[in-house]
Structure 1
Amino acid sequence: MTAVDDRPMTTGIVKFFEEFVFPEGFKVELLRGEIVMMAGPDVAHNDIVEAVVDQIPRSRWRRLQTQDIAILEESSEPQPDLVVIERGAGPEHGRLMPSEVITMLVEVVSKTSVDRDYGVKRSIYAAAKVPAYLIIDPVMGQCVLLTEPTGRGEHADYRCQRLTKFGDITPLEPVGVELDTSEFAVYEKVRPHRYP
């Protein structure tokens, strides 16, 4: 039995989520027992993900998009914008990637995902002990790299946080890359927020 199969299914929501057929064209995630559906992303969002993928060397890293994550002890199956795993690690088949093999997760903030990306996902990824979580925020024109996960459940968080502005080099030590953000677009006509 794999780690993915060992996840608790006490509420039945995980089983329901995995068996339900959701409408096409929507991104669907299970976040702490809540099913969240979102419309497809903005073009600027996809351009940013593409730029990040282009800068992480394929020879050393698997750069997976639209990959669902399995997290032990959580009723969560998030689908980050980008999952970075050492080449050769993790399963070659299946819908779920165990969080234990992940080096870094990337979320590009959308106009409607600010609270999820900075709040519940930050906690979920820290609880999963994912070593690095990069939030790329076109609302505020900034990147937030979170490292050193600590804690459990809803109280989990990251000890270290580094904020850089778009246009500045963003060091991503966990994957050995200095991320060039000079071409990252900022969303227009969106109200600023208070995060991180």
Structure 2
Amino acid sequence: MTAVDDRPMTTDIVKFFENFEFPEEFKVELLRGEIVMMAGPDVAHNDIVEAVVDQIPRRRWRRLQTQDIAILEETSEPQPDLVVLERGVGPGHGRLMPSEVITLLLEVVSKTSVDRDYGVKRSIYAAAKVPGYLIIDPIMAQCVLLTEPTGHGEDADYRCQRITKFGDLAPLEPIGIELDTSEFATYEKVRPHRYP
């Protein structure tokens, strides 16, 4: 039995989520027992993900877009915008990537995902002990790198936080690169928020 199969099924929600056929035009995630559906992303969002993928060396890193994640001890199956893990690590097939093999997760904030990306996903990814969580925020024109996960469950968080404004180089220590953010676009006519 794999680590993915060892997740506790404390409720039927995980089975329901894994067996239900959701409409293809929606991104669907299971976050702490809640099913979250979102419409497709903004073009600026996709351009940012593409720009990041282009900068992560393929020889050393697997760069998986919209890969579902399995997290032990969580009723969560998030689908980050980008999953980065060492080449040669993790399964080569299947829907779920075990969180314990992941080096960096990336979420690009959308107009409706601010609270989830900065709040619940921050806690979920820290609880999963993912070494790096990068939030790219086209609303506030900033990148937030979170490292050193600590704690368990809803109390989990990251000890270190580094904020880089768009246009500057963003150090991504977990994968050993500096990310050029100069091409990252911002959303138009969106109200600023209070995070991080």
Same fold flag (TM > 0.5): yes
Match of 1:84 in 2: 84
In 1, distance between residues paired with 2:182 and 2:153?
36
1:175 matched to 2:175: yes
Task: Indicate the residue corresponding to 2:46 in structure 1.
Answer: 46
What's the TM-score, normalizing by structure 2? 1.00
Task: Structure 1 unaligned segments of length 5 or more: list them.
Answer: none
- Aligned ranges 1:19-30 → 2 under 5 Å: 19-30=19-30
> Which segments of structure 1 move beyond 2 Å, counting only runs of 4 or more?
none
> Which residues in structure 2 correspond to 1:1-196 (within 5 Å)?
1-196=1-196
* TM superposition shift of 1:102: 0.1
Q: Report the Cα distance in structure 2 between the residues aligned to 1:135 and 1:38, rounded to whole angstroms.
A: 18
In structure 2, distance between residues paired with 1:66 and 1:143: 19
Distance 1:92 1:104 in 2: 18
Aligned-residue identity in percent: 89
How far apart, CA to CA, are the structure 1 residues paired with 2:132 and 2:173?
9
Letter in 1 for 2:25: G
Q: State how many pairs are aligned.
A: 196
| 1:66 Cα deviation after fit | 1.2
Distance 2:142 2:7 in 1: 35
Q: What's the offset of the Cα at 1:139?
A: 0.3
User: Residue 105 of structure 1 aligns to which amino acid in structure 2?
Assistant: L
Cα-to-partner distance string for 1:56-92 (whole Å, 9 max, x where unaligned): 0000000000100000000000000000000000000
The separation in 1 between residues aligned to 2:186 and 2:41, in whole angstroms, is: 14
Alignment partner of 1:73: what SS?
A: coil
Name the amino acid aligned to 2:74. E
* Cα distance in structure 2, aligned partners of 1:118 and 1:170: 18
